Amino acid sequence: MRILILTGSLPYPLASGGAIRSFGIIHGLHAAGHEVSLLSFNDAERGIAAQSTPLAELCARIETAPLPRRTPRQRLRDLVLSGQPDIAKRLESDEFRHKLQTLLEETPFDLVQFDGLETAGYLPFVRQWLTRHNQTHTKLCYDSFNAEYVLQRLISQIDRKEFRRLPAAAYSFVQSNRIAYFERMICRVSDFVIAVSEEDADALRPFRADRCVHVVPNGIFAADYADPREHLDLRGSAIVFTGKMDYRPNVDAMLWFTDAVLPLVTEQVPDARLYIVGQKPHPRLEGLRVKDNVEVTGWVAEVQPFLQAAEVYVAPLRMGSGTRLKILEAMASGCAVIATSTAASGLLSEARRAMSIADDADSMAQAIVALLQDPSQRQTLGDSARSAVRKYYDWSVLIPKLLKVYKEVGLG
């Protein structure tokens, strides 16, 4: 098949969940003998040339456009006047649309796949172009990274519990309703929809007349986490969290954890130290830098060394949807993982059994302390986690599931 994949950012390096998923799918489709073309936005600040990455060997063609910049004033104007969700306009670009049209004119694609809701904003344009040019054989797939309207509702519910976050809660509530309308339109215009978990699929099925949403979970190359190229010696009893640190659920998780959980841990394990590992730390996290038992690393070349050096990995998320790639990475590294039910949602029961689940500060603190004080328990939990990821979430297992979905909709 000839496949065109649209992504909101260049899926390399593998520094975000979206990049990890998109790269894994591109790699798998190439290995299966399909011809993949890629159209992405590329942040000029990162200065990454697509042709200098492994993507060049996997894609028949790569086109990029500069990431558009929207000012706060433009976002406020759209919030008041447009009636559309912010996410629908985030990647509006004439240059991207022009390159997309050129690709469609030059290649008769069998499938155009839109990765995430931001890029799905171009789906109606592609549908109209294909219809106008009588290329109705081309299938359009919406690969939803999250059920976005559910995510915004959860964010609103958490933020409204704190007085100073009430404006943000109101914003998320308005956005959730607009996103639901937008997601419904995208799901209906698509030929088929893929979700990363059964929970997300259930949230999106009412948006389709046939109520059909396929599930292909997020995955990783588990072998990449077996032995890091760099070994770290982290100070103290190392507790690690990883993620893109300007992402609201991650920011909320770390603020809650450092305020409500970490003090309870250090009462019993005085040398416990939290490492927050991830790019673009949000200004709300600046106050954590002055804490003696917290280190905010910012961008790192690889998260694997931190995962390998962790005594405990925490995922104290109170909002979110989808399948947490950060947890899969930690499990593949053999970490003893402690997560909230929200963080673990979307994972198979076999994977959830390979971690400790705790939803309140006291129970999470006690679970962390127990693991920090018991190396054998950490080893047992980590071994179970590594086994579960290799069995259910390696791309060697998931790509056949994706190809099966393609066959079910008449592709391949």
- Look at residue 202 in the predicted model and tell me its pLDDT: 96
* Cα 253 → chain centroid: 15
Residue 160 has pLDDT above 70, yes or no: yes
What's the token pair of residue 256?
A: 């809650």
pLDDT, tens only, 2-48: 999 999 999 998 888 899 999 999 999 999 999 999 999 987 655 56
Give the SS3 label for residue 57.
helix
Please give the pLDDT value at position 323: 62
CATH level 2 (architecture), domain 223-392: 3-Layer(aba) Sandwich (3.40)
* Mean pLDDT confidence for 133-159: 91
Looking at CATH, the fold of the domain delimited by 2-219+395-408 is given as Rossmann fold (3.40.50)
- Tens digits of residue pLDDT in 58-81: 999 999 999 998 777 777 777 666
Contact 370, 265 (CB under 8 A): no
Contacts of 162 (CB under 8 A, 6+ apart): none
Fold agreement (2-219+395-408, 223-392)? yes
CB 26 within 8 A of CB 14: no
Distance between CA 42 and CA 9 in Å, rounded? 6
353, 355, 359, 362: CA torsion to nearest 10: 130
Render pLDDT for 179-201 as a digit per residue (tens, 0 to 9): 999 999 999 999 999 999 999 99
Q: Is 366 helix (H, G, I), strand (E, B) or coil?
A: helix
Per the listing, tokens 């989808």 go with 322
Share of the chain above pLDDT 70, in %: 97
- Encode pLDDT of 376-387 as tens digits: 999 999 999 999
Q: What is the pLDDT of residue 188?
A: 97
For the ranges 35-44, 106-115, 121-130, 369-378, the lowest mean pLDDT is seen at 35-44
141 touches 192 (CB < 8 A): yes
Q: Are 53 and 10 in contact (CB under 8 A)?
A: yes
Based on the number of CB atoms within 10 Å of its own CB, is 198 exposed (0-12), middle (13-18) or buried (19 or more)? middle
Please count the other Cβ atoms lying within 10 Å of the Cβ belonging to residue 242: 25
Residue type, 322: G
pLDDT band at 49 (very low <50, low <70, confident <90, very high): confident
Considering only CA atoms, which of 360, 304, 296 is closest in space to residue 334? 304
∠ CA 77-81-86, nearest 5°, is 65
CA dist 147 and 156 (Å) reads 15
CA distance 311 to 334: 10
Domain segments of the chain: what residues? 2-219+395-408, 223-392
What pTM value is reported for the model? 0.91
